[in-house]
Amino acid sequence: MIDPHALRPHYARFLRDDRVLLTGHSHQAWPDVAREGVLEAYDDAAAHVDDKWAAASEAADVVRAAIAGHVGAQPDEIALGQNTHELVTRWLSALDLRARPHVVTTDGEFHSLRRQLTRLEEEGLRVTWVAPEPFDTLTARLAEAIEPDTAGLAFSTVLFETSAIVPALDVAIDAARAVGAEVLLDTYHAHGAIPFRLRGDVFATGGGYKYLQWGEGNCWLRVPASCDRRPVFTGWFSDFANLAAPRGAARVGYGSRPADRFAGSTYDPTSHYRARRVIRFFEEQGLTIDRLRERSLVQTARIRDGLEGWNVRTPEARGGFVTVELDDASGTVARLRERGVFVDARGRLLRFGPAPYVTDDEIERALAAFREVAR
């Protein structure tokens, strides 16, 4: 079992005795070595100026390989992005929405997808919103919503409000693929928290911002190896190898690797330097996803037990955090912050998210503060 006391000295800049960080589902503490990655990015830029991109691509390749290893994909299937919204929007732009103007999703999705689909719905796209509860029938109900003109199915594998793990993914995926619809899985609350492997015929998106401690700017899209889609929202990296070719081609080209089709454009490479150094730190500390999951289950069970009698919304089949429903969730967050306990809320749902460096004593301290201030 991971020992949080042994880890804590490596997080000296984030961890303090006067606060408990239970926002591990949102922004985990960064190990001190992450700062080394930031400085390394600066030093490479200072040394090489515009020639820094060769070194930056090496950092990006390490990130791409780590993601592929986590999800059971190949590195050349991983497109990198600064955030999931740009990647999700690129995926949407690759669908034939003129001929198949229908998308199926749930109304429990994060804002990157929910807001974008709502706006497209205003412009005439037909969107079927499926209620996430009851969780055990969600994928069956998604499958029932698939129609012959469905272009895409997009849904989360772990729901961001409740931490519920969505079961029986293949039921919905098979129904979508049967009519030729593409499938996009939002794995953000699974990546780094739950071991999983992707099917070969699905797109998936996620990031290292939360459970892997990589920080901002480290999101990704898995592109199936057989993909020949042509995103309308396309960055110039998509055809990087042919930049020197004469202009005026009748048809926009894309790179040879699957992920090249969904590549973006110029970005801040500091994020990949930071992530690369944290990836190395996790390897040195033996922080595999299996071990992280083992520790997380113990911690979230302690939190669930400590919330007995409250309206806990997180089922037994859970991701990396626990949610309790309150009339004044946001006010409770503020009162806990005054006591040095960091949690967050989404509407009426208050979320407790432990991390591997959080001790049992800190969890008990946070629960005691919660019981004192919650209404």
Q: Give tens-digit pLDDT for 282-306.
A: 999 999 999 999 999 999 999 999 9
What digits encode the pLDDT tens for the residues 260-275?
999 999 999 999 999 9
Task: Compute the average pLDDT of residues 203-217.
Answer: 97
Name residue 203's beta-bridge partners. Answer: 184
CB 211 within 8 A of CB 24: yes
User: Per DSSP, which regions of the chain are E strands?
Assistant: 20-21, 78-81, 102-106, 126-130, 150-156, 182-186, 203-207, 219-222, 322-325, 341-342, 344-346, 349-352
Closest CA to 321 of 291, 299, 294: 299
Closest CA to 151 of 227, 87, 96: 96
Domains of the chain in sequence order: 4-24+288-373 (3.90.1150.10), 35-280 (3.40.640.10)
Task: Compute the average pLDDT of residues 310-334.
Answer: 97
Question: What is the per-residue pLDDT for 244?
Answer: 65
Radius of gyration over alpha carbons of the chain, in Å? 21
Name residue 251's beta-bridge partners. Answer: none
Strand ranges across the sheet with 322-325: 322-325, 349-352, 344-346
β-pairing verdict for 182-186 and 219-222: unpaired
Closest CA to 29 of 212, 256, 190: 212
Question: What is the per-residue pLDDT for 254?
Answer: 87
β-pairing verdict for 150-156 and 344-346: unpaired
Question: What is the per-residue pLDDT for 237?
Answer: 84
Question: What is the per-residue pLDDT for 172?
Answer: 98
Reply yes or no: is the peptide bond before residue 134 cis, omega within 30 of 0. Answer: yes
